[in-house]
Chains A and B, each alone.
Chain A
Amino acid sequence: MFVQPKREKEIKPSQERQQRNTSLQQLGPKNILPLGYKCPRWPIFSPYSFSLKTPRSTLEQSRRDSRVRQTGERRDDDAMEAPQSSLRSALVFSFIAIAYLSLLVRSATLSSPELQILNAERRIDLTSHIIRVYLTLKVENTGAAPASEIFLAFPPAQVDHLAIVKAAATFGKKKKKSYLPLDVNPTDLPDAPNGAKCFSISLVSPLKTGESVTLEVLYILSHSLEPFPIEISQSESQLVYYHDSAIILSPYHIKHQTTFIKTSSPKVESFTRVEPSDRVGTELKYGPYEDRHSYSFSPIIVHFENNNPFAVVEELVREVEISHWGSLQVTERYKLVHAGARHKGVFSRLEYQHRPQFSGVSSFKHLLATLPPKVHSVYYRDEIGNISSSHLRTNSKKSELEIEPRYPLFGGWKATFVIGYGLPLQDFLFESPDGRRYLNFSFGCPLAETVVDKLTIKVVLPEGSKNPSAVVPFAVDQRIETSFSYLDVVGRTVVVLEKENVVPEHNSPFQVYYNFNPIFMVAEPLMLASVFFFFFIACVTYLHMDISIRK
């Protein structure tokens, strides 16, 4: 009597899974027709999406809504991302039509240098929740005028999640390849269709007619894996959607292109076929496609298993306090969340402890923070005291702090904690040739493989420092604040740097320059000493004074 219901309970999720699987199998390869960008046959998706539509919850809806709210035009693109009904597919048709129209317009109006991409290879790495896309472009100038800029185009949905774009020109053959980093800046191309955003790569030397250059581009997307189903129970593994285009969105004509998508596990539930496309193990291959026009787009969806920790720091405040007496005190306040598919229903510690390979596979309980070497007095705590589960390993290169939150984090669960440590000042504070001092410290989050939604770095300069200026290799919001600590009179200048959507690739050094007169170092000790001195002087004078009226 007692056993039976339990068995029922166990069977339930797998039954669900089976049903879903069968529905997918029914769709099967024979139902999934090849999708060309010219004629995407969206309706084949509709039975699938209908069958899964019900569990979609309000969160996703609101996300979708907010995305729509940003630009009206984006609705088209959205539909192309998550095709749900034939209505949406109709919208996609209209989008394709618009793309074509704009293409016509563009070719008519484009007077700038005529470029074309001879060969493009794109490798999309979906193994973690931070998506890294490596793009190799061979660009040729076919026009008359020399070109000094090359544009990259991104669909609007990706632009919102774009964390970083890096580009480098390659020289030389395979053996002695050398990379030359290039500047990348967001620009607006007037003829970009449907809110596609462009980035311009400035070449070091303009590309002359008939010449070609090979570019390596790395761009990183965060929050672009959409968990589906959006809520999973403890025993299920996490499945996610990835939306992209089979054909590289580019303002140029691409002669030859291939896209490789590497998924985290060989378990791929489904993927959009755009012939020729193929899947081997964890790798999906789209292409090669020949002679695609500019701004071609062919939406694809990859639905696959990704159980990597979706560790997202919603808010991170790093406070770096400089003391010229020889130490640098860093305090980092984290608001951590598991941004994967939300945990649904029961959390059973029994299942979690006894069947770790089947239970809570998408959850995580360890985090690794890489701290600078020679770190001292490290602490790891939260509002209610020390968290006893952490290990610190130090060597001469780096320090590794392995931390465990108080409880394992399942989808949607949150945790807050504080990490603090001290560092020797001479490793981070230097004097520039013009006599100013500067702090050289690492931007970004020390936790490995995490996305930081909002990062605030506060550099608290010692009292009496003047003219602070920060040099950061990428765009950040800057402002100056004043904070007061013990015995401060005028307050300490605080340089506040804020950046959203920070990925581990942002862990590059930044500098804060300021003027500081060492006399301020002794201001506070002198103040204290003089207070005591005057107090004793007052005592002495009082004792030696005779203020009696009667002589």
Chain B
Amino acid sequence: MQVVLGTLLASLVPVVGFNAVMTSEHFASFLVFIFIHVVAFAYYIKGLLSQKMFKVAVTLVASVGMVLCCAVVAVLIAMVASSPTKGWSGRSLSLLDPTYASKYIPIIASVSEHQPPTWPSYFMDINVLAFLVPAGITACFLPLSDASSFVILYIVTSVYFSGVMVRLMLVLAPAACILSGIALSEAFDVFTGSIKFQLPGISRNSQIDVRDTSSAGVVTQDDGVKTDKNEESLKERPSKKNKKKERENAEKALIKPPLEKRLLVLPLEASVISLLLLVLLGAFYVVHCVWAAAEAYSAPSIVLTSHTNNGLHVFDDFREAYAWLSHNTEVDDKVASWWDYGYQTTAMANRTVIVDNNTWNNTHIATVGTAMSSPEKAAWEIFHSLDVKYVLVVFGGLVGYPSDDINKFLWMVRIGGGVFPHIKEPDYLRDGQYRIDSQATPTMLNCLMYKLCYYRFVETDGQGFDRVRKTEIGKKHFKLTHFEEVFTTHHWMVRLYKLKPPKNRIRGKTKKSKTKASSTTGSKGSGKRNPWQ
């Protein structure tokens, strides 16, 4: 029921539409859904009919069903086989094969959310849970039941997925929570149990309890509350788990209760201290979660802040540029920028963009990537053919903002090169290294992105020291011929350039035909030429 409802609701979302039914990723879940229903139906029929009638019905239905199933499967296989990726979208394929996206679809690999996470990001996101999860897995194995095996499967798959893409950390989070809960509850169980055993006065009582009822869990819990006030807060959580455990313990306890309990006994001091430490751990985790929610998850990525001696310093450059665009350009002017800033420009600057965060149209993004990685004149022609008036680049070199366009530039080259093969990634790399200093390749130093980012940058400090790349830039003094700077924000984070009117083109045209003949002949042979040239 949930599957049907969920699918129906999902298909109401315009972006999803019939994709929820049509793509191969969802077949497995639907097949399981159908299978379960068939089984349930069979049981229902079995209850209705007599033994003999049932056998007849089974043979009838099985034969007809087999034929139907074969037909459906054949159609499905035919449909699936007809598509090159077997009906799988690129994102799902890159889940199965983590290298798939970077090999075939650079646009998927370029998104930072699709990168494999680093160890610090695990620690940042799930913190102490990262250490509790292994303990939880062990705890699940101790008595392996249906439920615990499901939990183990859940955590294993979600760990795999989160290892492929950092955004799938979301999938890992609930699994990690469940397992850490199990681990914590087991730990509390053991510690409180051993405390209860060793406390004078209650020990006799509890001995009887263990023998009488086998529900040691409940008693230990009660005792724990009495002995340690600190636990009270945390007891709430594991209590539910304890009930489950209680059942499992019950089975074990029935067999040899006193022996096992005694084996689990830890020294009193050690258990008290460990309990306190566990409570502390939980408390610190809460502190960390609040901090992470405030700093990492809630902070808007377009307003940056830094704490200095004078207090908070706000870098509001993005909105500065967007506000400038919205008030000081014509309403129908078009802005070209890398697609990351597409939705922002549309929403905040109220201007038409060439590419935005909707990444369906790969070719369009590749066109912008090609323009950014082309020399100035070729880029001007591409932008002019797209009726672009302004070009927006994000530059962090002055203040040290690392996620700027120069750091994203290799992706522009890859994505552009994926569609227009005359853009070749090795042209921008020196010995496989991406660099913008004096060792950089001439293609790199002459491309539009480099020029727009570093235009007159050297005049700020006299050396052109880039604070993100921690190096001096390679080409320091140059002039723009086809673009002019119209706005740069306070911290130079956003730079806006206007395409010079085509007047310049007439003068350049005669020269261009010569240069074009010499420069583009090489790329002509590669079959798919840049259509904009």
A388 to B348, CA, bound (A): 16
* A347 and B488 form a contact (CB under 8 A): yes
Interface of A is mostly: loop
Say yes or no for A202: interface residue by CB 8 A criterion.
Answer: no
> Contacting B479 at CB < 8 Å: which of A2, A345, A347, A350?
A2
Contacts of B489 in A (CB 8 A): 349, 407
Say yes or no for A384: interface residue by CB 8 A criterion.
Answer: yes
A347 to B497, CA, bound (A): 10
A407-B324 contact given A347-B486, A348-B485, A349-B489, CB 8 Å threshold: yes
* B323 and A350 form a contact (CB under 8 A): no
- A 427-457 to B, binary, CB cutoff 8 A, 1 in contact else 0: 0000000000000000000000000000000
* B327 and A414 form a contact (CB under 8 A): yes
Contacts of B323 in A (CB 8 A): 382, 384, 406-407, 415
A407 to B327, CA, bound (A): 11
Say yes or no for B316: interface residue by CB 8 A criterion.
Answer: yes
Contact residues of B between 247 and 282, Cβ < 8 Å to A:
none
* A5 and B479 form a contact (CB under 8 A): yes
* B319 and A385 form a contact (CB under 8 A): yes
Contacts of B477 in A (CB 8 A): 2-3, 6
A435 to B417, CA, bound (A): 80
* B488 and A349 form a contact (CB under 8 A): yes
* A346 and B484 form a contact (CB under 8 A): yes
Say yes or no for B409: interface residue by CB 8 A criterion.
Answer: no
Say yes or no for A354: interface residue by CB 8 A criterion.
Answer: yes
> Contacting A407 at CB < 8 Å: which of B314, B348, B484, B487?
B487
Contacts of B316 in A (CB 8 A): 387-389, 406
- A 390-417 to B, binary, CB cutoff 8 A, 1 in contact else 0: 0000000000000000110000111110
Interface size, B (range): 20 to 34
* A416 and B327 form a contact (CB under 8 A): yes
Contacts of B479 in A (CB 8 A): 2, 5-6
CB distance from B503 to the nearest CB of A (A): 14
A350-B320 contact given A414-B328, A415-B327, CB 8 Å threshold: no
Say yes or no for B420: interface residue by CB 8 A criterion.
Answer: no
> Contacting A384 at CB < 8 Å: which of B328, B348, B486, B492?
B348
A384-B456 contact given A3-B477, A347-B485, CB 8 Å threshold: no
* A406 and B320 form a contact (CB under 8 A): yes
Say yes or no for B322: interface residue by CB 8 A criterion.
Answer: yes
* A350 and B322 form a contact (CB under 8 A): no
- A 377-388 to B, binary, CB cutoff 8 A, 1 in contact else 0: 000001111011
Contacts of A387 in B (CB 8 A): 316
A406 to B323, CA, bound (A): 7
Contacts of A346 in B (CB 8 A): 484-486
* B319 and A348 form a contact (CB under 8 A): no
> Contacting B484 at CB < 8 Å: which of A345, A388, A413?
A345
Contacts of A384 in B (CB 8 A): 319, 322-323, 347-348
Contacts of A412 in B (CB 8 A): 328
* A350 and B459 form a contact (CB under 8 A): yes
CB distance from B303 to the nearest CB of A (A): 8
A6 to B328, CA, bound (A): 27
* A350 and B460 form a contact (CB under 8 A): yes
* A406 and B324 form a contact (CB under 8 A): yes
* B320 and A348 form a contact (CB under 8 A): no
A5 to B479, CA, bound (A): 8
Which residue numbers of A lie inside 8 Å of B, CB to CB? 2-3, 5-6, 345-350, 354, 382-385, 387-389, 406-407, 412-416
The list of the 3 closest CB pairs from A to B, nearest first, reads A2-B477, A349-B488, A406-B323
